[in-house]
Structure formats: structure tokens, C-alpha cells
Chain A
Amino acid sequence: MNHDVNTIFQIAGIGIIVAMLHTILKQMGKEEYAHWVTLIGFIVVLYMVITIIDDLFQKIRGVFLFQG
């Protein structure tokens, strides 16, 4: 569980850093890059969340629904 809790902080950190990058790139006048940075950051975070959701659903399946 300890390992997983760190991921929450990782997600929050990525969110804040992406927001910072977004602001900086916007100030520099590169709006397209800002949007791409947001999208890629979101995909990375989504991968983390999908991993744990997959784990959760597999466990629920194992506990409640037996084989399938």
C-alpha cells in the first residue's frame, strides 16, 4: 500500500508541473505546445490510474465472480 500512496503525490505533482509549463508556454506565445504538454501529462497520469483500476477489477473478479 505504501508504494501506491506515493502515486497520489506523483499525480498531484505532475498536475502542478503541467499547469506551470502550460502557463510558461502560454506566456511565451506557444499555445499549441502548451496544449500538447497538457495532453501528454494527462496520458501519463491516466496510465497510472488505469493500472490500479485494472488491478482493482481483477481482484473484484477474483473475490466475487470466481472465474468469470
Chain B
Amino acid sequence: MSAIDIIQIVGLGLIATFLVIVVKEQKPVFAFTITVFTGALIFLYLIGEIQHIIQMLESLAAKANVDLVYVETVLKIIGIAYIAEFGAQIVRDAGQGAIASKIELAGKLLILTMAIPILTLIIETVLKLLPA
């Protein structure tokens, strides 16, 4: 099943690239929209597979008695990284490297903000281990 899936995705990418090259001669704006659309389509296709992985991670965490809040935070961080990367790559493809860098900066900052509770917990644990 997965072998056919990868062939489909590669075929999709090749066809989209071909169309982009054809359309770019006349109207670059439409070529750019094709790029965005193809990117979104492939992401959309992959998200179904990612859902399976995440479900497995969640069941593992439940079995290991890990607090669900931490798993949720990690998942949110992965989601932020995913969206930020998607946006930044599209914007950079359109030739706006500066805006792409800002999107990446925003993603990093938001991830850092979300990680603060976990970081605090780690530091507190280390401080508890240290002799007074």
C-alpha cells in the first residue's frame, strides 16, 4: 500500500512541477498558486498517516502512565513546527526570504513559550536532586 502511495505522491509532484513550468512562462502568479496547492495536497495526504503515529504515541503514553499534559504539549510543539515550516517554505519559494525568516522566528518563539512548563519542571527536578 505504502509503495503505491509514494508513487502517487511523486507522480503528483512531477505533474505539478511540469504544469508550473508551463504556466510560469505566461503568468507567474498562477504558477505560484499551483505550488501552494500541491504542497497543501501532499501535506493533507500525509496528515492521515501522522494521525496513526500520534494515536500510537498516545496509547504508549497512557500505558507508561505519563501525564497526558506533557504529551499534549509535545504534540502541540510538533504541530507548530509543521505549520511554520509549511508557511515559511511557501513564502521563501515566492521569493520573500525575509518574511519566511520571520515566520520561522515566530515558530521558534512560540515553541519556546510552550516548552516553558516542561523546562521549569526539569529544572525543579534537578534542584530537588541537588543536596541543599
A residues apposed to B, CB below 8 Å: 1, 4-5, 7-9, 11-12, 14-16, 18-19, 22, 38, 41-42, 45-46, 48-49, 52-53, 55-57, 59-61, 63-66
How far does the alpha carbon of A57 sit from the alpha carbon of B86 in the complex, in Å?
11
- Name the distance in Å between B8's Cβ and chain A's nearest Cβ: 8
B16→A64 contact, CB < 8 A:
no
B-chain residues with CB within 8 Å of residue A12 when the two chains form the complex:
19, 22-23, 30, 34
A46→B47 contact, CB < 8 A:
no
A64→B40 contact, CB < 8 A:
no
- For window 9-41 of B, CB contacts with A under 8 Å fall at 12, 15-16, 19, 22-23, 26-27, 29-31, 33-34, 36-38, 40-41
Q: For the complex, would chain B's binding face be called helix, strand, loop or mixed by DSSP majority?
A: helix
A-chain residues with CB within 8 Å of residue B37 when the two chains form the complex:
7-8, 11, 48-49, 52
B-chain residues with CB within 8 Å of residue A19 when the two chains form the complex:
23, 26-27
B-chain residues with CB within 8 Å of residue A64 when the two chains form the complex:
54, 75-76, 78-80, 82
Closest residue of chain A to B20, judged by CB?
A12
B51→A63 contact, CB < 8 A:
yes
How far does the alpha carbon of A48 sit from the alpha carbon of B82 in the complex, in Å?
22
A-chain residues with CB within 8 Å of residue B38 when the two chains form the complex:
8
B122 at the interface (CB under 8 A from A): no
B93 at the interface (CB under 8 A from A): no
**B40, B54, B79: residue with the most chain A Cβ atoms closer than 10 Å:** B40
A46→B33 contact, CB < 8 A:
yes
- Name the distance in Å between A46's Cβ and chain B's nearest Cβ: 7
How far does the alpha carbon of A52 sit from the alpha carbon of B92 in the complex, in Å?
20
B76→A16 contact, CB < 8 A:
no
B43 at the interface (CB under 8 A from A): yes
Closest residue of chain B to A20, judged by CB?
B26
